[in-house]
Structure 1
Amino acid sequence: MRTQVAIIGSGPSGLLLGALLTDAGIDNVILERVDRAYILKRIRAGVLETGTAELLDQAGAGARMHAEGLVHDGISLAFDGRLHRIDLKVLSGKHVIVYGQTELTRDLMDHREERGGKTIYDAQNVTPHDFGTVGAFVTYEKDGITHRIDCDFIAGCDGFHGASRKAVEDMGLSHFEKVYPFGWLGVLADVAPVHHELIYANHARGFALCSQRSATRSRYYVQVPLEDTVEQWSDDTFWDELRRRLPRETAEALKTAPSIEKSIAPLRSYVAEPLRFGKLFLVGDAGHIVPPTGAKGLNLAASDVHYLFEGLWDHYLEKSMAGIDAYSARALSRIWKAERFSWSMTSLLHRFPAHGEFDRKVQEAELDYLSHSLAAQTSVAENYVGLAY
């Protein structure tokens, strides 16, 4: 088989890149190690920056997002027993859209099928080859047979543990990482959200987040020690702990229901450099991870896709390599700004085991400053809705 761009991974980044390429008349094939049903079982967060929403529209897959997504013009920080709202719309001129990543993935899958895009599911042992030369290709196994796809370029959209990053480990790849000493215990429940916008809470007992997936489905989190297990947390224990970390009025309004999903996620910041190795590009989680505090994971993957698509467009339609040559530097510039914001939000809102009274007082002072400074709130708003591409 021959294609112009082989895309490894059918998560949001691979599907979004495939949609943009297909609409531009650039041939592409997506390889995915599991099946469609398995992918759509995974529950993921979904706070979409303005730029991500615009990319979905550009790809022709944004209709359901606009019909069912929840537009949020602000967020609230909870500390000192009160809610302090940051008006994203007034301060930045933009908003975010709360729309589950699973639904976004479903939309992109449906869009690809409608456009006749080729996706090979259950492709095992996917391996990129010769991407430093003219003759790049990818091999994979399916039904006991080894197949080969020759291509011009390979887009590695297969996540942190995927084949793409592994293929360049010994080719000068640099790693930058920070591991946080706590995790997030998350509960998904079919219950109306406690607030119409997201609440990020700083409390003496630890961080909490009140998020949502729809008007009838909520996602809540509390900070927990890394050694905790899901089995230690019954639904009742979780709801009681969440109430303790919220302002009284908010806690009293909280409605509960049996959890339909419960998990603990560790937090870390990670960046790989560079993101281009000849004909192979690292995209999304294959090249970077952010703690979820800043709502940047999915959105950074989308901005990577934006830069890579521009480069491939220049190559195929303008006969220029400028965009491809600039991909890594352009993507990393935005990635590091998002890493900084996610780290700063995580540092501001969580209780760190090693922190003493001085650290806590500085954190409290920063929150108080943020609640009274228009300049500080503007900085948070600009970063939260997403910096310009």
Structure 2
Amino acid sequence: MSARTLVLSRRGTLRQGRGCRVSGIRNSHSHSNSKDEDGHSHSHTHSHTHTQIPRVRDPPPMPDPPSVSSVPESDAASRLSISRARQYCTSLLQSSFMSPNLITPFTPGPSRDSHIAIYSLAAALKHASHPPLTSSANISMSSGSSAASARLRLQFWRQTIQDIFAGKTPPSEPVAILLADVIRTHPYTRGFFMRMVDARMARVGDPPVANILALADYGEAAYSSMLYLLGESMPSPRAIAAEHVCSHIGRAMGVVEILSDFPTMIERRGRVLLPIDVMVRHAVREEDVLRRVDVQDVHIRQKLADAVFEVATHANDQLITARTMFEDVVNQQAGRKNIDDAMFAPLLSAVPIRVWLEKLEKVDFDLFSPKLKVKSWSLPWKMYWAYRSRKI
């Protein structure tokens, strides 16, 4: 029986199963119309501050970034190149933790390439920001060169996106080829792509996370921006009506990414990336986790599980807020029958996050549990049910 329980039916409320303590993290939100620096309209504001800061299985290896070519391809060669790029990106998404390949069938046909390309870009940016280390023994020796390599790879993607928007031929890299094809056919906001790159650039070198809100703000930049772009790719202009819902889903995705990567960050990179304020509250010391994690120290594991519980609570809170706001959208559209695929498809990204948090709860918030690495056999069914019922 889990000692801690995430209550998914109440906003911001969590119960402690074995004790009488009830804890909660509440976020208040007000709605208004605003525009970002790129002129993109948003229908929400947050009581906390969103900072514009520059996804557990490794994806297939990304090819080395080539230089941008200015020689145009023939139409037949271009179609063949795009087809091969689509196949590569599809295989890339099959190994992604966020399971975007399960969302693709529910995406309107004209927008499927956009869905594949944008999610593949997110996966490529994550891979670029964390080049693999050969072993845990050379962490200290290679961390500097690893960070430099990450910055170069991310700069390649920044330049590639800028060149694509400038009408230049993309480099011979599968994700870039498919991305260029969809950017030519959709009026995307370039600033959202730049925010995705900047968010990864800010995480190069795995700097400490000050607090949970900073972690959520990272999710806003890295993942909410991605969901906004998915909304822009949809054939119906009504898709943007759920942007404020996408904001909170993206914030939850950012928090869950850090939690899901936690064992890898310790074993391969020697980093404990829980928010500093949470670690202080639960007396979790980084050196204790790094030195004693292999000997199963019960006391340290208990304190660590308490800290993980608090962070997972915040991700859960963001999903509950997104669900509440989506009900407002349902009411505005006069019922779920009027929520079309174009509006709902980007919101399906919340389902794998919710399923992973439920799995984390079942293992009592032990991030080292092998059960967390096992893919949920029921996830495709839950995705289908969410799609049919129009509920996240």
TM-score > 0.5, shorter chain as reference:
no
Into which bin does the TM-score normalised by the smaller protein fall?
under 0.3
- Whose strand proportion is higher, 1 or 2? 1
- Whose helix proportion is higher, 1 or 2? 2
Instruction: Give the structure-2-normalised TM-score.
Output: 0.27
Instruction: Give the structure-1-normalised TM-score.
Output: 0.27
